[in-house]
Structure 1
Amino acid sequence: MKTYQENQIQELYIKETADGTLILTVMPMLETLYSCPGAILKEEDDAMLVELVRCRINTKCPVDVVATPDPANPGNYNIALPNTDRAVKIDYHSGAIQIWP
């Protein structure tokens, strides 16, 4: 399964909604053959690891949480993460980067 690497992500941030849900917003580099259908989640001792799936257009790729296009910001995808009291890290092949808290 292909996942996005750090240099393929143009923008990435996370915000907490009033009910405690975490919304991860990601803007991968613009490509004509690939998109981000969602993320794979893994638990680590002290963190939730998020792998951003990179999938060929018109192909189904398995994900744990589905990304939805952000209508207000074309090219951005929103991913609703499950509530957690652990740190949230984006898991790239080069290593994990903590983005929350």
Structure 2
Amino acid sequence: MIDITTTRTMAAQTHPPMVIFGLLFGLALIAALLAGYGMAGGKARSWIHMIGFAATMALAVNVIIDLEYPRLGLIRVDTFEQALVDLRASMK
């Protein structure tokens, strides 16, 4: 049980370097620039496509960051530790 607790603690404290997050945002920016360049040749711009692309990219980046920091965002994993809490309570 001690090894599992240590593994979970280290997994929760170990995160990718900030360069990875910078590359993720850079990739989103480059994708947006390429999409804008592709739509610039047309006569009419589609607001649905522009808003849909921006919302999809923002949602994807947000979910990736949310999963990386499970206790800070909208996606919570606090209930996964309930087994360890129950085990601790049974040991007392």
Q: TM-score, normalised by structure 2?
A: 0.19
- Structure (1 or 2) with the greater helix fraction: 2
Q: Relative contact order, CA 8 A, sep 6+: which one is greater?
A: 1
- Structure (1 or 2) with the greater strand fraction: 1
Structure index of larger Rg: 2
